[in-house]
A and B are shown apart, each in its own frame.
Chain A
Amino acid sequence: MNANSQGIKFTGASKYVLDPELARIVNISMELEMPLLLKGEPGTGKTMLAYAVAEALRMSLIVLNVKSSMKLVDALYQYDTLTRLNDSRFGDSKRDVSNIEDYIKMGKIGQAFVSALRVVLLIDEIDKADTDFQDDMLDVLDQMSFDIVEIDKTIKARHRPVIVITSNAKKDLSDPFLGRCTFHHIAFPSPDMMREIINVHFPQLDRELGKACIETFYRLREIPGIEKKPATRELINWVRALRCDPDFRPGRLAKGEIPYMGVLFKKSTDYLVASQHLARARN
């Protein structure tokens, strides 16, 4: 296990700008074999980090998107009763009806456990589920095994997956949960960091344009009364939109003329507030 992970160090990926602090935390979590819990406002790259880790470590990524109605067993395995019933009636498949194991399908966590190679397991938006789900899941991840009650069999992880858990900062998770994770809060990127992120995504971008966009972007984020502030994703899409527009001149941004505001503000009230604010600023 340890021999397996030694020498593997996460140093960044092609489309992900990694700050050295976060790289250290990812590495220490891997060495300590603890899940890494990431918090931070939307658009700070929590989910993207897992993709980047997988890419950099050349492991495949398994994503468990948590839903509010989800039960833990859904994430572990599923017993396909219908197919079995069907087979028992018609008996035209290669499956052995008397063997329940043929009808067990692995869920996302189960897949990560039985995989022949070490994988990265991303558990996305854990805060959506209720606290029981969270605590039970941590038990499974702690012991690296779970039971399939239908066949009385214990599934043990062949390789301990690299686990990344994300949470939107809305709710606090329970203490036992937090106790078993390493924790990092990703702050919203600073303008310098953002410049690097933009450079990674648009290597050919004109420097002037990049600078003007980022300045405008941070100014727009400061507008009071905005419910959902534009995040990195919005900025990237916005830059993409501006680049497609042949008539666009960077100088116009400084004057307060912002085209394609709808890319940045997705709520109609926010859109309205922002345009009013800009109109006032222009006069």
Chain B
Amino acid sequence: MFVNFFYKLREKGIPVTPTSFLRLQRALGLGLINSLEDFYTSARAVLVKSERYFDLYDQIFAHYFKGADLPDTEGIALDEAAQMLLEEWLRDPEAVARALGVEEDELLRLTPQELIEYFLKKLKEQTEAHHGGNRWIGTRGTSPVGHSGFHPGGMRIGGRSQGQSAVKVALDRRYRDYSQEGPLTQSQIGEGLKRLRYMVPVGPKDQVNVEKTIYETMRHAGEIEIIFDRSLKDRLKVILMIDNGGWSMDPFVEVVQVLFDYARSQFKELKTYYFHNTIYDYVWEDPPRRRKPQRVEEFVRFDPEDRLIIVGDASMAPFELMSTDGSIHIEERTFHPSIDRLRLLAKIFRHTAWLNPRLEYEWAHVRTIQAIRQIFPMFELTLDGLEKAVRHLMKNN
């Protein structure tokens, strides 16, 4: 019963499992569900396991049982594709114009809004993702636009390319697996950071060490000798320095925010400092970087066992990093080039990691990233990178 409903849920991206569907069947068999309303709540409680999908569930339910219109996900995908075409156009108008087979000048006259509409029209002309054939978007066709096609001047759509072309993913999005993607969530970060622990015995001696107690009692010929131990607690101290200034970090604010929130709840001893682009004489304890400066030299008084994690994109003009007095802030004057300061920090703390929200394949193109990588081990701010960073931070040497 309701097998189609089940598949509709799956198809629209709600992760429902066959087991839970069988459970629902059991509930139906037990005679527990006697009305559509019963079915609505029971099916939701049994099948849908996160409130994120409640809205979608409602829509599918309404569609299935009341014939309401489903949200036009195709339309959304087209919108996104058009948006990407627009971005691509802004970057390289000539290529896009050529790809669409129209004059560049003709497109130049259009406002962005008109451009979007124009792209949408073009995208809609091609109703199905058609692979083969000679209409103008698709794969393996002879049309000028498309991936793996053999038109010499063709523009890649779908498939992989080195230059991270925005259009390349435009059509793939339609088939994307929602459950696998998405930004780093808090629980993922939690999983990643879980191993970042340093267990040491602290507090009152209130844990009985059974083995030692038995041993000591035997040694005293049966006279009871109870041995207590301190319990193990996580005493890892973490210093987090976050690049929170400048537009170059803007796209990553969300993911860094999640990291910070998690770190704050996870680590008892967490000190957070802020800087802009790179570190000169000071880092700041307050996010606006005004009231509570902390001299970089003073970190020598810290425990070298503290773990230092720096989060930043490490991307800036080379002079900001290399030259003396390189700060772009007029009030921040110094005689030490920033790179020396970074070296000092790397010398003070034995365990350091630089988390970079930019993905690894981009690093080679940025000179300052190359320079900073020489000083701090650098990791991507992704699940994978986080795990590597944690493994590195917990190494003994």
Residues of A at under 8 Å CB distance from B? 21, 24-25, 27-29, 31-32, 34, 36-37, 39, 81-82, 85-86, 89, 130-131, 169-172, 175, 178-179, 181-185
Q: What is the bound-complex CA distance between A131 and B51, given in angstroms?
A: 20
Chain B residue numbers with a CB within 8 Å of A32 are 23, 26-27, 30, 46
Chain A residue numbers with a CB within 8 Å of B30 are 31-32
Contacts A25-B45, A29-B45 hold; do A81 and B17 have CB atoms under 8 A apart? no
Q: State whether B42 touches A24 (Cβ < 8 A).
A: yes
Could you write out 19 A-B pairs with CB less than 8 Å apart?
Answer: A24-B37, A28-B27, A28-B32, A28-B41, A28-B42, A31-B27, A31-B30, A32-B26, A32-B27, A34-B23, A39-B51, A85-B214, A85-B224, A89-B224, A170-B186, A171-B190, A172-B187, A183-B44, A185-B51
Contact of A182 among B33, B46, B51, B214 (CB under 8 A): B46
Q: What is the bound-complex CA distance between A93 and B109, given in angstroms?
A: 97
Q: Is B49 an interface residue (CB 8 A)?
A: yes
Residue of A nearest to B54 (CB): A185
CB distance from B76 to the nearest CB of A (A): 24
Chain B residue numbers with a CB within 8 Å of A37 are 49
Q: State whether A21 touches B41 (Cβ < 8 A).
A: yes
Q: What is the bound-complex CA distance between A28 and B44, given in angstroms?
A: 11
Q: What is the bound-complex CA distance between A25 and B45, given in angstroms?
A: 7
Contact of A28 among B46, B49, B213 (CB under 8 A): B46
Contact of B41 among A24, A39, A86 (CB under 8 A): A24
Q: State whether A178 touches B186 (Cβ < 8 A).
A: no
Q: State whether A183 touches B191 (Cβ < 8 A).
A: no
Q: What is the bound-complex CA distance between A185 and B45, given in angstroms?
A: 9
Most chain B CB within 10 A, of A39, A81, A85, is at A85
Chain B residue numbers with a CB within 8 Å of A25 are 41-42, 45
Contacts A21-B41, A24-B41 hold; do A172 and B50 have CB atoms under 8 A apart? yes
Q: State whether B49 touches A179 (Cβ < 8 A).
A: yes
Chain B residue numbers with a CB within 8 Å of A170 are 186
Q: State whether B45 touches A81 (Cβ < 8 A).
A: no
The proximity string for B residues 18-44 relative to A, scoring 1 for CB distances below 8 Å and 0 otherwise, is 011001001100101100011001101
Contacts A39-B51, A183-B45, A184-B45 hold; do A82 and B27 have CB atoms under 8 A apart? no
Residue of A nearest to B33 (CB): A28
Q: State whether B194 touches A179 (Cβ < 8 A).
A: no
